[in-house]
Structure 1
Amino acid sequence: MALFVMIIRKMVQNKWLVSSMFFGILITVALVGTMPIYSEAILSRMLVKDLETFQNERGVYPGTHWAMMGFFNETSERRASRIAEMDKFMADTAGPGFGIPIKELVRERRTKSVMIIPEGEENSKKTKQTATLRSYSDFERHIKLEDGRMPSKQPVDGIYEVLLTDQALGNFKLVLDKVLTLKDDKILGTIKIKPVGILSKKQDDDPYFRNTGLSDLSSAFVINDALFAQEFIRGGRIPVTASGWFFVLDYSKMELSNVNSFLETDKAIRAVVKTKVATFQSEFNAPAIETITKYFERSKQLGKLMWSLNVPVLIMLGFYMFMVSNLIVDRQKNEIAILRSRGASRWQIVLSFAMEGLLLCGIAWLVGPFIGMGLTKMLGASNGFLEFVQRSRMSVHVNEQAFIYGGIAATVSFVMMLIPVLLATRVSIVGHKQQLARMQRMPFWHKAFLDVVALAVSIYGLYTFQNRLKDLQSLGLNTDDLNIDPLQFVMPALFVVGAGLLLLRLYPFVLKLIYWIGRKWWPPSLYATLIQVGRSNSQYQFLMVFLIMTIAIGVFSAGAARTLNNNTEDRIRYGHGADFVLQAQWQNDAPPPPMPGGPGPAAVEVAVPKVIHYLEPSFDPYAKLSGVESAAKVFVKDKAVFSSGEKQGTATLIGVDSDDFGRTSWFPDHLLDYPFYEYLNLLAADSRAVLISQTLAEQRGMKTGDTIYVGWENVSSQPFVVFGIIDYFPTFNPNPPVGSIDVSEEDAKANAPMLIVGNLSRIQFQLALEPYEVWLKMNPGYSTAEFYESIEKMDLPLTNVANTKEDLTKAKNDPFLLALNGILTLGFIISIVISFVGFLLYWILSLKGRTLQNGIMRAIGLSLRQLIGMLALEQLLTSGVAIMIGVLVGNLASKLFVPNFQIAFNPSSLVPPFKVMFEAIDFIRLYSIVCVMLLLGLGILSYMLSRIRVHQALKLGED
């Protein structure tokens, strides 16, 4: 107890030091705990988005589960018993087992198909129709009556009243209130029914009806479910052949934590149903299973990439804890040495620090994950790197993994705190004084050449990975064909550490050079600062390495995020070619498609002419659409035939008007050897001119000046002249198609797509006039709604509209890209916050440790302004230099390692080629934050300097 009281008093006396250390531990635990929280939240959002996409594309509500069991030659008592058991199982076990809210649990029952005989037609020789009786739970809440009334819940004069659909009414050729007699060998007694109402859905998109609508009731009558159970299940008047259970679940509440519950419950339902009936008598349907299966593949890929991106941040956090712990213990080494010299055992000193660490780490572990949850909510609104928008909040909650990872971070922090203590307790008071006199010693990492090793390993890893990426592109492989090693994403961190340490190895020589150059002119303050930094180089190594890592990782995160976002945007713009791509319906002399029941395909085939003639619609209305800046005609023929001498093949033919096309199309700069417009000018120089792709030139050995004949099926080839060779052209992908894994690189190149670009006017005049696309470039700030309204007003007969802006918005909202932006934003914020905390903590401890020195300098005549100037210069020579090195190393690491992130996509589909990009705004943000950090830190330190009293400092020295 006395030891505990002593520790509390010690913590109170050193409240600033202890609070700084606790803040560092708390941030570490919170930020590490944020990673699993954010991972689960973004993966859950990705799952919901995938399910929404499934619903939009297929028109099927994915949050449903359908199970049906059939009965065959069983007694009514056994059927009733099994149905009751399954009702209880579905309601009490399966329903809660899904782990998400249940909107509906529909119980459906069906009788066997029986013959229906209208009243008065018992002796008629007409073909008798058959039908089934069905019941659904809560049926009345989901339907409305189109005609008639709701049926009674009890037999009326021995007749069961039923509902039917309008389609069933027509199929059975009935009228309402007409009595029907059911006839079958297994019916007990006489059963009569009377349709009294025509039903329809209350809501068209109601998932209650099992995505089949009312078509499933075209040969059935619906009876009250309680009456059905009483008369047919328990009464056994008509054999019940099937019973089904249909869950309507709120899939928007599905999360990563309950996906496995959904799958396990699906397996349990299937297993229970199959134990009660034969396999062929059961039926199951769960649309979400297909999406969830694909989701597991995507989540695995995304999870691997997300955690790989976090590797540099985790390394930085570990280094931070080591630096802080070493600084704190270093400031208490004198106290530890004195305690050891006065008889305290090592375990007593370690125990006192351990109890202090346990207290701080325990509180941080309990509080940290909840702080991480708040940070995750903020990151959920990320729309890009450090860009936030108003969007629906992610489902965020503290999970078990957050406490596990937070506990690991707290444990690592605790161990980091104890390691320097254990080392310090081995040193006596004499040894401690000797160490103080040897501050010039070389750091361990420089002795062991860890900088050279780290650089060599990172560069080798970069070299091997880039070779594998080239194979992906040259062979047309899928990313699944490349086994991703997460260690590849450790390489940037190794490179940052290695490059930083290597530059720090050279830094003392730079300091000596600066000192030597101005040794005759430096003022005393600068001279003292250079001496202080030069002679205590090892003292600043931890701080400088730490700042280099944090700033470099921040720059790396910014570069990676900007590159991923801009490359995604460029890929979409390049793939479309313009802001809008329209395809109009052209009048032609092709025969209309055959009507149902008309002549067969053979007859139609004879009537189709070999060449279809088209009538070109007016082009002027397109340029007059709302918001249009320019418009261009673009003719695309996918399988054009070309020949040159004995060389021939098929290629994509594109016909353009060079002037309009140049103003309208989107094409990135520096993608070709010369500006894009110069290639278009080649086309304008001669109507016979064509541009061919580099793939065509390589495969067929063609060059500029060659004559090439171009045509297509049923169109005679005409001569053109090659005026230029290009690697890329809007919408053209020169990479081999994905899936050629079994071929060599030479064969893959031989299968690469080929392109021919010519003048549209010559193609239309000498080859054929066929429908072309209309490409539109829009004015900045145009309104999409007004654009579509103008199309309707002009009544343009369009068959397809491709909207680039819409696809860009869809890409930004893709959970995959959201996750990357969020995790990189998180990494950047972590770097800056930890950098600021570490920077401030180091300088506060350093200033406290040099109180006597600063007091002596004040006593010998240096003013407060001169002391602050010395401190600012010292920060510039240490923190400032480290930050500059960090920016340099971060930029270099981005240039080298960010291209590896294209593995998140299909490299074969990345056109334009993946390119590392930076924007000024990213560096403005970074430099602004760093400047604020330095100025704020300098302000705090200056305030602390101003509070130093000379007599107290000198008295401290005497003590």
Structure 2
Amino acid sequence: MALFLMILRKMVKNRWLELSLLVGLIISVALASSMPIYTHAILQRMLIKDLEVMQTETQQFPGEVANHGYFVGMGKGKDGDKLLAETDAFMAEQSRRFGLPILLSSIRRSTKTFPLTPSDPSRVDPKVDRSGEIAAMTDLESHIRLVDGVMPAAKPVDGVYEAMVFPELLTKLKIVLGNEMTIVSKDLNRSIRIKPVAVIDRADYADLYWLNSTTDLNSRLFIPFDLFEQDFTKHGNFVDMFSYWTYLLDYHQLKLEGKETYMTTYSAIVSYFNANLESFTTSNPTITTMQTYTDKEKRLRILLWSLNVPVSLLLAFYLFMVANLITERQKTEIAVLRSRGASRTQILMGYVLEGVLLGGIALLIGPFLGLQLTKILGASNGFLSFVQRASMDVKLNSEAYQYGLIAIAASVCMTLVPAIIATRATIVGHKQTLARKNKLSFAHKIFLDVLLLAVSIYALQSFHRRMGDLVALGLDAMDMKVDPLLFVVPALFIFAMGLFLLRIYPWVIQLIYTIGRKWWPPYLYSTLLQVGRSATQYQFIMLFIMMTLATGLFSASAARTMNANIQEKIDYKNGADIVLQTAWDSDAPPPKSGPPIAAAGTKSFVGEQSAPKRIQYVEPPFMPFTQLTGVESAARVFQKKDAYITVGDDAKKATLMGIDSDDFGRTAWFRDGLLDHHFYEYLNLLAGDSKAVLISRSIAEETGAKVGDVVRIGWDDVEGATAVIYGIIDYWPSWNPNPILTATTNAGSNASSAKSKVNAPKLIIGHLSYIQNSLAVEPYDVWLKLKPKMTSQALYEGLEQKHMSVSRLSDTRQMLVRAKNDPFQLAVNGVMTLGFLIAIGISFIGFLLYWLLSLHGRILQFGVLRAMGISYAQLIGMLTAEQLLTSGTAVLIGMVTGKTASRLFVPLFQLTFDSSSQVPPFQVSFDPRDQLHLYLIVIVMIGMGLLLLGTMLSRIKIHQAVKLGED
């Protein structure tokens, strides 16, 4: 108890330092606990979104659990009717075990298809072969409407089963209501008479009840379900039949916590059917989606940990710095205790209890703060950009507290390091240390900076070699997943670079002192001596500020770069805001259901089969697209994938693109700097000659073609046309020039041996009008550029109002929205934004804390200087110079280091993308606003520091300072 009270008194005495330490611990716990919370929340959102997209794109309900089994007279050791009853009960039980609300359930029975013989042949066409099956569905009457006739009786009427049929059956069998049919088969122990008495249709075509029941409606005669069960499945009347169980679950209520239960239930159903039935099928669309989430969860966790490495190191450094400040103020007390017999264990136990106490408070507060941080992550739409997005399903779980506990343990261990070092010193050693503040730090003694720089440069070279192999071979970088070293190595480089520059910092101060030692005024002379002789004293705050700013710049550049490259990749791939194609009229014959069969006695002409008639197309009007509301410009873009170009005797397969140069230039998106000259200059070359073409560099390199050569272009089934090469290009809107890996390349081959085995894409750009007049008129795409404030939905409504039929459409803006909602992109933007804000926040706290404590410890010095005649203005000048020489230098080093790290390491982030589709090339981006934010924060930070220090100096009284020094 006495030890506990002593610790409390010590904490109260250093309350501002302890509070700063507590803030660091709380942020550490919040950051650690936010990772499992965010991972769960974003995967939960992604799961539901993926299922919703599946429903939209495939028109398949994700919550559908459909099972189909074929039951014969005897199952695997069981009678068919008993097995069917057991299966009904089993499916009803398993449907509840999925753990989701059941929106709808249905059972459908149907017999095999039997021949149908008219009971009265005189009333029907005897030449028609008729067949059908008797079927029944639970709750069918609630989902149909009566079109004609009367509903069937619940029991046979005079031995005849009355049935409901869809109109398709009457048409196929060529019968009318009331035509009685007889089923006679050796598989039945009796003949069955059945008569359609009602024509029915679906009451609601959007009703989920009909998901798996709309096929073969032209062959099913429906009778009441209870009647079917009584006369066909029970009481010894069992016949071979098919049974369908369909359950529609509310997939919006699906939780990740129930993933294992859901998959286990599905596996149990499959195992049951496999053990009891010879023939069965199961369908559960959700399973396929859920099976990929284990891998996605692992990748997302690795990404989050990797993204948080820089800010985690920064927090660790902050905690170490604050703990070191606390220990520095107590070193005399520790040395006295050691000299009076206290053991190191006893002293350290006090610090451990202090850490446990603060850690317990942080563990209570941190996870709730982490919950709020998760919401910030979910609202990020870019770096330092937030939107009103649908809130994520965030909640605290045991894993969040586990992560928080680990963070507390690591943080407390970090804060104990200064205490462990301090307990090794005696009172004599402590006084010697105070007199030798200019000695090298431990990190510099062991050359930690040089070692870490070497490791960073080696890792950088390794990344560049790997990236070169990916580009040369055309490999998919996504197979490599997320490499955590992409985030760890830059943090090590920043730390090592800061240490290295601090190694030469004393020499720079000495050089400045030497250059102007004859001219420096007294207060600058004193400042230079103070900084030069106590360089080690300032290293913590300088390294802290430098790492903060460098990490902030690197995070900003990495996030901006990844966002910009993803956006540019989508813009480039599509080429314009909207790319669509309409249906063209043509004389193409309707598609045939099977291979052509020559009639008997006819001849087959091989020449006619090998040279079919070329399809003639009618070009639809283009003007309506240019008149759509919100369309700034429109362009016709024709692309033929299997065209050819002949240069001399050398012919190459290539993609032929036909454009109207003026419209294309106004509509297409293209990044500056990708070509030797501006994009418009190449379009101007085309405009001067109708026969002018541009070719890709791959064609020029493989054929030796050059500007001015006459070539021949065309494709199969058309007569080629001559053209003149006017330019050679490396990139073009929507065209991917990256090599494609061929099947002949071995996985173990190196880049140099594989270059000859990759297929370099080829492109020809010409005039659309020349292609249509000289070659053929074939369907083309329409590219649209929208006005800045125009929405895609407004364009869709305009297309619908003008009844413009669209067969294919790509919306760049919607693709960008989906990309921003990708969980990995959300993680990058959210975590880096959060890391940037945390870095700035703790930098501000650490800066003010350090300088206030530093000033408090130098009150005697300032008092003596004031007594010697130094004016208040000169003291402020001393502090300003000291700030510029320390904090200002740290800011400068941080800016240089951050930009250097960004230039060196941010390009490596393209390893996380598919190198074969990363077009245009990866480019490091810097947003001036981010640097402006940092500059403003630094100015405010130093300004407030000077204001507080100046205020404290103005309140110092000389006699009190001297008296304090004597005490």
TM-score, normalization: structure 2?
0.87
* 1:14 CA displacement: 3.0
Structure 2 matches for 1:30-109, cutoff 5 A? 30-68=30-68, 71-74=71-74, 95-96=96-97, 98=98, 101-104=100-103, 106=105, 108=107
1:653 maps onto 2:663 in alignment: no
Could you tell me whether the CA contact under 8 Å between 1:454 and 1:494 is conserved in 2? Answer: yes
Could you tell me whether the CA contact under 8 Å between 2:172 and 2:218 is conserved in 1? Answer: no
Match of 1:317 in 2: 315
Match of 2:18 in 1: 18
Query: Could you say if the C-alpha distance between residues 553 and 427 of structure 1 is closer, same or farther in structure 2, counting changes exceeding 3 Å?
Result: same
CA-atom RMSD in angstroms: 4.0
Match of 1:830 in 2: 838
Match of 1:704 in 2: 707
- Residue type of the partner of 2:838? I
* 1:764 CA displacement: 3.9
Match of 1:813 in 2: 821
Could you tell me whether the CA contact under 8 Å between 1:111 and 1:239 is conserved in 2? Answer: no
* 1:752 CA displacement: 0.3
- Residue type of the partner of 1:366? L
> What SS class does the counterpart of residue 901 from structure 1 fall into?
helix
- Residue type of the partner of 2:39? S
* 1:25 CA displacement: 0.5
In 2: Cα distance, 1:106 partner to 1:115 partner:
28
> What SS class does the counterpart of residue 643 from structure 1 fall into?
strand
- Deviation larger for 543-552 or 376-385: 543-552
Match of 2:460 in 1: 462
Structure 2 matches for 1:268-667, cutoff 5 A? 268-275=268-275, 277-278=276-277, 280-479=278-477, 482=480, 485-586=483-584, 588=586, 590-593=587-590, 610-614=613-617, 616-667=619-670
* 1:27 CA displacement: 0.6
In 1: Cα distance, 2:341 partner to 2:965 partner:
25
Query: Could you say if the C-alpha distance between residues 876 and 709 of structure 1 is closer, same or farther in structure 2, counting changes exceeding 3 Å?
Result: same
- Deviation larger for 465-474 or 314-323: 314-323
* 1:703 CA displacement: 2.3
Aligned residue among 728, 737, 740 for 1:737: 740
Give per-residue Cα distances to partners, 1:39-78, cap 9 Å, x unaligned.
2222332333322222222111122323455544459997
Give per-residue Cα distances to partners, 1:838-863, cap 9 Å, x unaligned.
33333344344334444555565666
In 2: Cα distance, 1:257 partner to 1:909 partner:
36
Give per-residue Cα distances to partners, 1:341-362, cap 9 Å, x unaligned.
2332222211111111111112
* 1:788 CA displacement: 4.4
In 2: Cα distance, 1:483 partner to 1:45 partner:
21
* 1:518 CA displacement: 3.5
* 1:193 CA displacement: 8.7
- Residue type of the partner of 2:432? Q
* 1:109 CA displacement: 5.6
Match of 1:134 in 2: 136
Could you tell me whether the CA contact under 8 Å between 2:303 and 2:482 is conserved in 1? Answer: no
Query: Could you say if the C-alpha distance between residues 52 and 537 of structure 1 is closer, same or farther in structure 2, counting changes exceeding 3 Å?
Result: same
* 1:24 CA displacement: 0.8
Q: Give the unaligned 5+ runs of structure 1.
A: none
Aligned residue among 671, 676, 680 for 2:674: 671
> What SS class does the counterpart of residue 332 from structure 1 fall into?
helix
Match of 1:682 in 2: 685
Give per-residue Cα distances to partners, 1:320-376, cap 9 Å, x unaligned.
332222222222111211222233222221111111111111221232122101110
Give per-residue Cα distances to partners, 1:535-571, cap 9 Å, x unaligned.
2211221222222222212211111111111112212
Could you tell me whether the CA contact under 8 Å between 1:441 and 1:538 is conserved in 2? Answer: yes
* 1:285 CA displacement: 1.4
> What SS class does the counterpart of residue 310 from structure 2 fall into?
helix
In 2: Cα distance, 1:115 partner to 1:684 partner:
70
Query: Could you say if the C-alpha distance between residues 228 and 27 of structure 1 is closer, same or farther in structure 2, counting changes exceeding 3 Å?
Result: farther
Could you tell me whether the CA contact under 8 Å between 1:182 and 1:191 is conserved in 2? Answer: yes
> What SS class does the counterpart of residue 380 from structure 1 fall into?
helix
* 1:895 CA displacement: 1.5
* 1:679 CA displacement: 2.3
Could you tell me whether the CA contact under 8 Å between 1:135 and 1:228 is conserved in 2? Answer: no
* 1:833 CA displacement: 2.7
- Deviation larger for 501-510 or 250-259: 250-259
Structure 2 matches for 1:224-243, cutoff 5 A? 238=238
Query: Could you say if the C-alpha distance between residues 185 and 723 of structure 1 is closer, same or farther in structure 2, counting changes exceeding 3 Å?
Result: closer
* 1:123 CA displacement: 13
> What SS class does the counterpart of residue 271 from structure 1 fall into?
helix
* 1:183 CA displacement: 8.3
> What SS class does the counterpart of residue 629 from structure 1 fall into?
strand
* 1:513 CA displacement: 2.6
In 1: Cα distance, 2:589 partner to 2:187 partner:
54
Query: Could you say if the C-alpha distance between residues 199 and 549 of structure 1 is closer, same or farther in structure 2, counting changes exceeding 3 Å?
Result: farther
Query: Could you say if the C-alpha distance between residues 27 and 492 of structure 1 is closer, same or farther in structure 2, counting changes exceeding 3 Å?
Result: same
Could you tell me whether the CA contact under 8 Å between 1:103 and 1:249 is conserved in 2? Answer: yes
* 1:88 CA displacement: 6.2
Could you tell me whether the CA contact under 8 Å between 1:164 and 1:222 is conserved in 2? Answer: no
In 2: Cα distance, 1:144 partner to 1:848 partner:
89
* 1:404 CA displacement: 1.9
In 2: Cα distance, 1:39 partner to 1:237 partner:
56
- Residue type of the partner of 2:263? L
- Deviation larger for 906-915 or 848-857: 848-857
Structure 2 matches for 1:170-249, cutoff 5 A? 201=202, 203-213=204-214, 219=220, 221=222, 223=224, 238=238, 245-249=245-249
> What SS class does the counterpart of residue 110 from structure 1 fall into?
strand
* 1:673 CA displacement: 1.6
Match of 2:761 in 1: 753
Could you tell me whether the CA contact under 8 Å between 1:232 and 1:240 is conserved in 2? Answer: no
Could you tell me whether the CA contact under 8 Å between 2:111 and 2:239 is conserved in 1? Answer: yes
* 1:415 CA displacement: 1.0
* 1:957 CA displacement: 3.1
Give per-residue Cα distances to partners, 1:649-693, cap 9 Å, x unaligned.
122222334333333322211111222222233333444433221
> What SS class does the counterpart of residue 477 from structure 1 fall into?
coil
In 1: Cα distance, 2:841 partner to 2:157 partner:
78
- Deviation larger for 417-426 or 922-931: 922-931
Structure 2 matches for 1:864-875, cutoff 5 A? 867=875, 869-875=877-883
Match of 1:252 in 2: 252
Match of 2:908 in 1: 900
Could you tell me whether the CA contact under 8 Å between 2:740 and 2:916 is conserved in 1? Answer: yes
* 1:483 CA displacement: 7.5
Could you tell me whether the CA contact under 8 Å between 1:855 and 1:954 is conserved in 2? Answer: yes
Give per-residue Cα distances to partners, 1:495-533, cap 9 Å, x unaligned.
111222222222222222333334344444433333332
In 1: Cα distance, 2:716 partner to 2:242 partner:
57
Q: Give the unaligned 5+ runs of structure 2.
A: 599-603
